[in-house]
């Protein structure tokens, strides 16, 4: 499997796991932000007769900005939530946060 394929599978698994997170209501106790960054991955572009990589090609990848909340529920438990920039801008610390599934 190529590194690109493995990276795609890992990204899909991460999206599935974060999509199955906590659903409920609580109070925003902290807003989190991580700036985006670039990083380099290497992909093999040539192999020798034994199947060993002989030439690697650098690929520049970009991780976008990340926005989130720490939400405290009615039982006092805290939950880390990721969100969009628009929703992040719409809430302040102390606001009620409702993450229940809409019917």
For 42-60, write each residue's pLDDT tens digit.
Answer: 999 999 999 999 999 999 9
CA distance 33 to 66: 6
Q: What is the rounded average pLDDT for all residues in the chain?
A: 84
CA distance 102 to 47: 51
pLDDT in tens, 51-97: 999 999 999 999 999 999 999 998 999 999 888 999 899 999 999 98
Band the pLDDT of 14: cuts 50, 70, 90: low
In the numeric block, which tokens belong to residue 77? Answer: 């438990």
What is the predicted pLDDT for the residue at 5?
Answer: 63
């Amino acid at each position: 499997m190529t590194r690109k394929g493995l990276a795609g599978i890992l990204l899909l698994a991460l999206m599935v796991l974060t999509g199955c997170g906590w659903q409920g209501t609580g109070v925003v106790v902290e807003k989190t932000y991580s700036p985006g960054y670039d990083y380099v991955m290497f992909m093999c572009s040539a192999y020798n007769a034994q199947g060993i990589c002989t030439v690697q090609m650098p690929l520049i990848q970009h991780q976008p900005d990340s926005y989130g909340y720490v939400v405290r529920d009615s039982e006092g438990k805290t939950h880390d939530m990721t969100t969009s920039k628009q929703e992040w801008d719409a809430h302040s610390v102390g606001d009620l946060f409702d993450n229940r599934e809409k019917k």
